[in-house]
Structure 1
Amino acid sequence: MDITTILGLIIGIIVVMLAIMTGSDLSIFLNLPGILIVLGGTFAATLIKFQLHNVFVAFTVGIRAAFINEIDDPRQLINQAVRLTKVARKHGLVRLEKIKVGNTFFRKGLQLCADGREIEFIHKMLTREMEMAMQRQEIGALVFQSIGDSAPAFGMFGTLVGLVQMLSQMDDPTQIGKAMAVALLTTLYGVLIANLIALPLSDKLKMKTELERENRRLIMESISQIHARTNPTAVIEMLEAYLPEKQRQGEAKRETSMSRRVTDKKP
């Protein structure tokens, strides 16, 4: 569970509610026609820009990115790759299919290694899967970006409609203030949908897409080294390029010390 999304939504809703309730009654900020204009217009514009399938995929991917933290720690992936390299060197690649790995992308690469596939074929399969997964997430980010762009525009459209209706009733001055308030509500709805929901989700999806892409590249490099049965120390040095520089030396020292302790325990 990604607690930051929930925390952000809760704080945002509380701030908006407090700002409304401290100055007036909440009911005056509810306007069904304005909500329908913003939601309906935004959804219609999104359908025009994207295929229906992509829209529904975007909502699925967006919800998962917002509320589920599926990004693996690269340090754990490196440690796992080192252990798997040791297994491959000692017992052969066939043993890899018996080892449980949580990451499905990593598990697929290990299965291909255990099946005796050539490394070129493995790279081709994993690259294709990575590109398709990243493409789905990028389309999802674009859909939410589009929603964030369209919602304020339709909010302004609703305001213009309300102003036209207000000006048509100028013969009754007592209704002008009320009509003006209702007209401005659609702009408020559009701004909230864009800046509290759609645009933050788009940015989070873009960020998680980049993190996932880097992790998958790390996994593909790990699969190459496991397939080649590279020395574990060399594997650490190669894979630590994917870590921030401050973490590299610490990780290398920790893995080296672990290897030494294992060696010292052998008779």
Structure 2
Amino acid sequence: MDIASIVGLIAGLGFILMGILLGSGLGLFVNAPSMAIVIGGTIGATLVAFPLKDFSKVGKAMKRIFMFKLEKPEDLVVRLVEISNKARKGGLLSIEGDIKSIEDPYFASALQMTVDGVKTADIASIMQKKISMVTKDNKSGATLFTVMGTYAPAFGMIGTLIGLVQMLATLDDPATIGPKMAVAMITTFYGAVMGNLFFLPMADKLKVRGAEEILNMKLVYEGVLSIREGEHPRLMEDKLNIYLVNTKPAQDKK
């Protein structure tokens, strides 16, 4: 579970609610037609922009944001070095038992091909194709939320325009101007909150998640090919550590 995402959403909503309650009641900011315009309009526009198969992945993308679990790259390097040492001493067949303990299907599949004696070039080709597919999938999810984050404020403005038209149509009744103006502005509020607290931050988080996942896949790619080729574990470790330079805290680089 990603604590930062959950804490961020709770904190963002909490401060917004606090600002509302300090100045008025919450009831002023609850309006069903405004919600319908923003939510319905955003979903409708997204369906126009994306195929249904892409839109149906929203739930999967949300799960990646809040329930993301990935092995630390430093730990992955250590595991790869351990497997390399084992393979160097006992041969490739000696690492077959390690495959069962690996939860990552990409890693497990690559090692299984290595144990099965698949040619290095074929292993590399299959692993590269999987990296390309995951990269495309991650980019698609981030793009989807980015677009939704753009549409939501736009439909907030559309809702405001609808409210203003309705208000101008009843100018002969001054008592209704204030309430209708408030309702019109609430739609913009909904769009801004949905876009800037939910969709756009989620898109950015998916980009971060995607970069982390691809980093691990590249480590596995380099590590498994080194094991298949029988390279010295120390040489493999040096190659893999190059990928970790930009992931270490600034104080560790000094």
Asked if TM exceeds 0.5, the reply is yes
Deviation at 1:65, TM superposition (A): 2.3
Q: Deviations over 1:47-83 (max 9, x none)?
A: 01100110111x1332122112323211111111111
Q: Is 1:78–2:97 an aligned residue pair? A: no
Q: Deviations over 1:207-243 (max 9, x none)?
A: 1111211211111000111111211111111111011
**CA distance, structure 2, for counterparts of residue 184 and residue 239 of structure 1:** 54
**CA distance, structure 1, for counterparts of residue 247 and residue 45 of structure 2:** 46
Contact 1:221 1:239 in 2 (8 A): yes
Calculate the aligned-residue CA RMSD, in Å.
1.6
Deviation at 1:188, TM superposition (A): 0.2
Q: How many residues align?
A: 248
- Specify the code of the residue in structure 2 equivalent to 1:152: P
**CA distance, structure 2, for counterparts of residue 129 and residue 168 of structure 1:** 58
Deviation at 1:96, TM superposition (A): 2.2
**CA distance, structure 2, for counterparts of residue 63 and residue 139 of structure 1:** 13
Identify if the C-alpha distance between structure 1 residues 45 and 228 changes in structure 2 by more than 3 Å, giving closer, same or farther: same
Percentage of identical aligned residues: 37
Correspondence for 1:217: 218
More moved, 206-215 vs 111-120: 206-215
1:10-159 correspondence runs (5 A): 10-57=10-57, 59-99=58-98, 100-159=101-160
Deviation at 1:247, TM superposition (A): 5.7
Deviation at 1:178, TM superposition (A): 0.4
**CA distance, structure 1, for counterparts of residue 90 and residue 128 of structure 2:** 27
**CA distance, structure 2, for counterparts of residue 109 and residue 164 of structure 1:** 62
Q: Secondary structure at the match of 2:117?
A: coil
**CA distance, structure 2, for counterparts of residue 210 and residue 33 of structure 1:** 39
Contact 1:71 1:208 in 2 (8 A): no
**CA distance, structure 1, for counterparts of residue 173 and residue 150 of structure 2:** 36
